[in-house]
Amino acid sequence: MPKGYWVSVYPTITDPEALNGYNELARAAVQAAGGRTFARGGSRVVAHEAGIAERVVLIEFDTFDQAVAAYESPAYQKALAALPDGFERDFRIVEGLG
C-alpha cells in the first residue's frame, strides 16, 4: 500500500515566534498519528523555477489514508486553530508511489 505524505511550504513567515503554539500542537498530533518528519525548516533550501526558498515540511505516514486521517483528527484540527491570523502556507497530502 502506498505511503502518504504531508508537504507544506510556507511562502512567507513574518513572525516565526507566532508559530510556536501551532508547532507544539502539530508535532504531538503528527506523532500520535504515526507520522515521521523528514524535513522541517528552511535554513538550506535551493529553489528552482517558481519555487520559494522558505520553510518546507515533509512528513511521511504509512498509508495515504493515515495521512488524511491525521489531518482530520481532532488533535490536528486543534493545532490548525492555533495558526496565527494572516498566516499563509501551501499544504498538500499526496500519495506515494506503491
Identify the three-state secondary structure at position 80. helix
% of the chain beyond a pLDDT of 90: 59
Cα–Cα dist 12/87, whole Å: 8
3-state secondary structure (DSSP) of residue 71: helix
> 71-85, pLDDT tens digit by residue?
999 999 999 999 888
Give the domain range for residue 89.
Answer: 4-95
CB 5 within 8 A of CB 71: no
Whether the full predicted model's pTM is greater than 0.95, yes or no, is: no
Give the whole-angstrom CA distance, residue 30 versus residue 76: 7
Q: What is the CATH number of the domain that holds 10?
A: 3.30.70.100
Q: Tell me what the pLDDT averaged over the chain comes to.
A: 91
- In the chain, the number of structural domains is 1
